[in-house]
A and B are shown apart, each in its own frame.
Chain A
Amino acid sequence: MRNKNLWKKSIVLGMTLTMILFLAACGADNTKEPKDGKSSQSGDGAQTEENTDPYGAYEETVTCTLGRQTLQNPKIPEGDSYENNAYTDWVEKRFNVDLTNAFEANDGEDYERQVSLAIASEELPDMMIVGRATLEELVEDDLVEDLTSSYDNYATDYIKGIYDSYDGRCLDSATFDGKLMAIPSTNPDSAPSQIWIRQDWLDKLEIKLDEDGNAAITREELEMVAKAFLEKDPGESGNPVGISFTYDMNGSETLEMQAISASFGAFQKQWFQKEDGTVYNGSTTPEMKKTLEYMNQLFKDGILDPQFGTRTWDDITALMTNGQTGIIFGAWHIPDWLLSNVKSMDQNAAFTAFALEDDKGKVNVFHNNPAANYVVVRKGYEHPELAIKIVNLFHDERVTSKTLKDDAPEVYEYEQLGVDGSVRPLRIEVNSNVSLLNDYGAIVQCVNGDITIDEVPTLEAKNIVGCVQRYNEDPNTTDVIDWARYHSRMKGIQLIQDLTDYDSLVWVSPLYLGTTKTMKNKSANLDKLEAETFIKMIIGEESTDQFDSFVEQWNAQGGAAICEELAEKAQ
């Protein structure tokens, strides 16, 4: 009898388990259906009747799920997280919303994978950041909300003014059939890729660079410094490395060879149109071949890291913080988030930024894609205008408000602390096309006492004035933020200003036309071919004489087809 009871119990238990499983599975589906149905009805009518206050709070708490791009080592006060911090609190209280993260993933491949999974499982977060290719796919599949009326009705004049500074190029890239399907992140021109060299090491070895004073150094000077650093080991690491690059080969300006290729007039991975209308890729030009030959020479001379080809970003960060390398390639803003690691480890660290000039003493740069990333809103989300409101809050009020200190003290404190911008709910930047040099001009004027702090246009610029002043008082400061802001502006942007003043910059305009059909199918393959071939040529495993056959292969494997498609699109 006992046995009978036992197996009865087990069966009941088993069946209960099964039921729970099935209920759980069904439950998830059931809740989804009515929500979607309801939202599509309320979407159009309601929002035009309601007031269109750009900062209006909702009467009932609105929920919003986000896909979040995170950084590996973001600066966040202890106890705060990407999901709960002063920025998210600000949005939640201000608009009466409840923000939750559908997923968090590191910027780059990890985040791309999360977005892919979200699309594949048809569970898009209400808002997320995507790249151009993903945006096109989402629009084609009708998965994202039309934001045209939300933008027209809710965006503040200040925000509209910023987008207008791009002559429509920025919004156009998010516009499909006349409908604005996403909010683009602006991307003002910030080139060239700069070479950051340890000034304290240069002083120690008594090396003088850029004697002609045009803010740009020659390739010979670069080699000379690298050799000196290798031989004399000013970082006293015992194991110095000359110049180190990651194996990514994306053509990015940071920790890649962009500055060197630009000095030969090559622009890796950028598409260009010739006068006759045909399109070519910068990776396939004779200039690229020259770059690879030069890089190969650097490798043979030991100036380029002997482990080039297997170095990851983290490896190189370790090299610079260990004092093994003192020559770092990157954009003007790397002191703020990358070189600051060096200062944290070595109080004496100081950097100077240089551009790399070509044989004629000029610096070659290309115009940025005016839109880098996009905020998309899930199709059927009840409050698409919330995305615009968040943009207003962060890129108008936070930046321009004179009373932020009293209105939102926690947010003000975050700005003072230099908390990473990636912890804001929507990780985009909205800056006017000329903001970089304009803001910088105001900072310099204010530091020199020509204008008062109130005349400095944005909150960020005001904070930087404080940092620069504190740094000027005590250049040996232990405050990493002051150090970083001083370097990124007074060295990084100053370099751009100098190059602009000396008229040294030679600008080219790549084509930015999004993806094409062949690009979608073949680009993973082409990327592989390019990265593999370039690395092998640089480390001498393959001769650079093979470059022509690389170009042939590249064309045969879909490159030529993509060029044709782009030429057609460009007409």
Chain B
Amino acid sequence: MKKKNALKIRRRHSELSYHAMMLPGMIFLLIFSYIPMFGLWMAFQEYAPAKGILGSPWVGLMHFKYMSTLPDIGLLVRNTVVIALGKIVIGTVMAILFAILLNEVKNKLLKKSVQTIVYLPHFLSWVVLASVVVNFFNLDGSVNQMLGTLGMEKINFLGSNQLFQPLLIGTDVWKEFGYNSIVYLAAITAIDPGLHEAAAIDGASWRKRVWHITLPGMMPIILLMAAMNLSSILSAGFDQVYNLYSPMVYETGDILDTYVYRMGLISRQYSFGTAVGLLKSVIGMVLMVSSNGLAKKFTDRKIF
């Protein structure tokens, strides 16, 4: 009895120290994520900083109604969803493919160095990368010089409404697929190698094994990531778009975030900005919860 109790106490003690380590993080979460939620009140007010949250007049759903009458709202939502979906779908597929291929590399040194190289762009900010992208893709850039030597006509990628979205999606996928593949690599290593060996003995080719063992084994993680990503479907990457767009490509490049930035912060319409932000979060949450439901229904796996 005594021994058991002592064990219990010791375990609780060791757990408590972990909890204590979590405490600063929890406090940060509280201060920076939960307390600011009270600011959502602003979405239903005509907020003026001088009057404060308590003193500003209540306007109900006015900002939401105004949003629906905006002439560009359809365009903005369409651009945002197209760009975000493109990034999510292509980004996920690329990351999974890369993880599977990298897993086959047997040379450790090669594997590690390739991994490090593809992670690198993730740690550069778009402010820096944007100038790199511009230098590559403007009319005098290296891409156009290549096209020129091939005898093709020069293309103004950054000013073309047909090519701007692919450019955004492509450069974002390039920047992030390496980093995103970490999770998938981890998921692959968690698959029992016995399954592969058994399949190999039964004569399954590499392709068959990937299709019937690796991918199903990764499925829970893929679903989890997809559902999490879906919640950000209305965030198409402010810093990337902001640093690359111009009025010429507003038609395909202007997204909710850049629009709210121009309206909310530069023209100082705080309440309107908050209202759009709130709507974005609500839609994101609905999508996440429903994708969780769908995942449960079709694959019998649930995320939370």
Q: Which residues of A contact B (CB under 8 A)?
A: 3-4, 6-7, 10-11, 13-14, 17-18, 21, 25, 109, 112-113, 116-117, 119-122, 134, 137, 140-143, 239, 247, 249, 306-307, 309-310, 312, 520-521, 523-525, 528, 531-532, 535-536, 539, 541, 553, 557
Chain B: minimal CB distance from A550 (Å): 13
Interface residues of B in 234-281 (CB under 8 A from A): 246-248, 250-251, 254, 262-263, 265-270
A-B contact pairs, 22 of them (CB 8 A): A10-B20, A10-B21, A11-B16, A25-B31, A109-B266, A116-B265, A120-B270, A141-B50, A307-B139, A309-B159, A309-B246, A312-B246, A520-B267, A525-B263, A528-B72, A528-B250, A531-B250, A532-B247, A532-B248, A535-B248, A539-B248, A557-B71
Name A521's contact: one of B246, B269, B270 (CB within 8 Å). Answer: B269
Contact between chains at B23 and A18 (CB < 8 Å): yes
Residues of A within 8 A of B50 (CB): 122, 141-143
Chain B: minimal CB distance from A102 (Å): 16
CA separation between A524 and B250, bound complex, in Å? Answer: 13
Contact between chains at A239 and B140 (CB < 8 Å): yes
Contact between chains at B263 and A524 (CB < 8 Å): yes
Name B138's contact: one of A120, A310, A524 (CB within 8 Å). Answer: A310
CA separation between A134 and B50, bound complex, in Å? Answer: 13
Q: Chain B interface: which size bin? A: 35 or more
CA separation between A541 and B139, bound complex, in Å? Answer: 18
Contact between chains at B49 and A141 (CB < 8 Å): yes
Least CB separation from B263: chain A residue: A524
Contact between chains at A528 and B247 (CB < 8 Å): yes
Name A122's contact: one of B49, B247, B269 (CB within 8 Å). Answer: B49
Chain A: minimal CB distance from B38 (Å): 15
Question: Chain B interface mostly helix, strand, loop or mixed?
Answer: helix
Name A21's contact: one of B27, B246, B266, B268 (CB within 8 Å). Answer: B27
Chain B: minimal CB distance from A11 (Å): 5
B70 within 8 A of A: yes
CA separation between A307 and B263, bound complex, in Å? Answer: 27
Contact between chains at B27 and A310 (CB < 8 Å): no
Residues of B within 8 A of A307 (CB): 138-139, 156, 159
Residues of A within 8 A of B185 (CB): none
B13 within 8 A of A: yes
Residues of A within 8 A of B156 (CB): 306-307, 310
Contact between chains at B267 and A249 (CB < 8 Å): no
CA separation between A142 and B247, bound complex, in Å? Answer: 36
B17 within 8 A of A: yes
CA separation between A531 and B251, bound complex, in Å? Answer: 12
Least CB separation from B248: chain A residue: A309
Name A116's contact: one of B20, B158, B250, B268 (CB within 8 Å). Answer: B268
Contact between chains at A310 and B248 (CB < 8 Å): yes
Name A7's contact: one of B13, B24, B48, B52 (CB within 8 Å). Answer: B13
Chain B: minimal CB distance from A345 (Å): 18
CA separation between A105 and B267, bound complex, in Å? Answer: 17
CA separation between A116 and B48, bound complex, in Å? Answer: 12
Name B268's contact: one of A121, A137, A312, A525 (CB within 8 Å). Answer: A137
CA separation between A188 and B144, bound complex, in Å? Answer: 46
Residues of A within 8 A of B250 (CB): 528, 531-532
Least CB separation from B272: chain A residue: A521
Contact between chains at B267 and A524 (CB < 8 Å): yes
Residues of B within 8 A of A14 (CB): 20-21, 23-24
CA separation between A366 and B26, bound complex, in Å? Answer: 60
Least CB separation from B51: chain A residue: A141
B296 within 8 A of A: no
B10 within 8 A of A: yes
CA separation between A122 and B49, bound complex, in Å? Answer: 7
Contact between chains at A310 and B71 (CB < 8 Å): no
Name B266's contact: one of A11, A116, A247 (CB within 8 Å). Answer: A116
Interface pairs A-B: 7 shortest CB-CB: A141-B50, A309-B248, A10-B20, A531-B247, A14-B23, A7-B17, A310-B159
CA separation between A121 and B36, bound complex, in Å? Answer: 13
Least CB separation from B20: chain A residue: A10
Residues of B within 8 A of A142 (CB): 50
Hey, what's the 0/1 contact readout for B126-168 against A, CB within 8 Å counting as 1? 0000000000001110000000000000001011010000000
Contact between chains at B248 and A4 (CB < 8 Å): no
Known: A7-B17, A14-B23. A309 touches B247 (CB 8 A): yes
Least CB separation from A113: chain B residue: B265
Q: A109-B266, A525-B72 are in contact. List 20 more A-B contacts (CB 8 A).
A: A4-B13, A6-B13, A11-B16, A18-B23, A18-B24, A21-B27, A25-B31, A141-B49, A247-B246, A306-B139, A307-B139, A307-B159, A310-B248, A524-B262, A524-B266, A525-B71, A528-B72, A531-B250, A532-B251, A535-B247
Residues of A within 8 A of B254 (CB): 528
B14 within 8 A of A: yes
Hey, what's the 0/1 contact readout for B110-127 against A, CB within 8 Å counting as 1? 000000000000000000
Least CB separation from B158: chain A residue: A310
Contact between chains at B248 and A247 (CB < 8 Å): yes
Interface core residue of A7, A112, A137, A247 (most chain B CB under 10 Å): A7
Least CB separation from A305: chain B residue: B139
Hey, what's the 0/1 contact readout for B194-238 against A, CB within 8 Å counting as 1? 000000000000000000000000000000000000000000000
Residues of B within 8 A of A528 (CB): 72, 247, 250, 254, 262
CA separation between A174 and B161, bound complex, in Å? Answer: 44
Contact between chains at A113 and B266 (CB < 8 Å): yes
Least CB separation from A120: chain B residue: B49
Contact between chains at A523 and B267 (CB < 8 Å): yes
Contact between chains at A119 and B268 (CB < 8 Å): yes
Least CB separation from A248: chain B residue: B247
Name A525's contact: one of B16, B70, B246, B248 (CB within 8 Å). Answer: B70
CA separation between A410 and B31, bound complex, in Å? Answer: 48
Least CB separation from A527: chain B residue: B262
Contact between chains at A119 and B247 (CB < 8 Å): no
Known: A113-B266, A535-B247. A7 touches B20 (CB 8 A): yes
Residues of A within 8 A of B71 (CB): 525, 553, 557
CA separation between A10 and B254, bound complex, in Å? Answer: 49
